[in-house]
Amino acid sequence: MHGKRVIGWVVIAGLLCGAGFFFFGKQGIYYLIRDQRAKSAEIRQGRHTIDSLRQEIARLTSDTAYIERIAREKLGMARPDEKIYKFIEKR
């Protein structure tokens, strides 16, 4: 009788350890769910970036006022009758 009781406790302890590894081990459900949530957030951020870039492409291919503004701001371009002043900060 005593041997069956010990075997029972060993089986229960083994099951508890197995359940612990199943839920909290390196490949456990807890970590898989956490990783899945992180990947979902990355996908959402990527989709947001793609949407922003598509809008930028659409504006660059169709909106002449936007193209002119970008040319002025980023490339320092001006119309032939305009003067450009650059202010240099002293360090």
Domain ranges of the chain: 2-75
Tell me the residue type at 51.
D
**Phi/psi of residue 24, nearest 5 degrees:** -120, 5
Residues shown for the chain:
91
Tell me the residue type at 17.
C
Distance from C-alpha of 59 to C-alpha of 44, rounded to nearest angstrom: 23
Q: How far is CA 56 from the centre of its chain?
A: 20
Please name which of 56, 38, 37 lies closest in space to residue 48, comparing C-alpha atoms: 56
pTM of this structure: 0.55
pLDDT in the model for residue 10: 76
pLDDT in tens, 58-89: 999 999 999 888 888 888 777 888 777 778 88
pLDDT in tens, 19-43: 777 766 777 777 888 889 999 999 9
pLDDT in the model for residue 1: 59
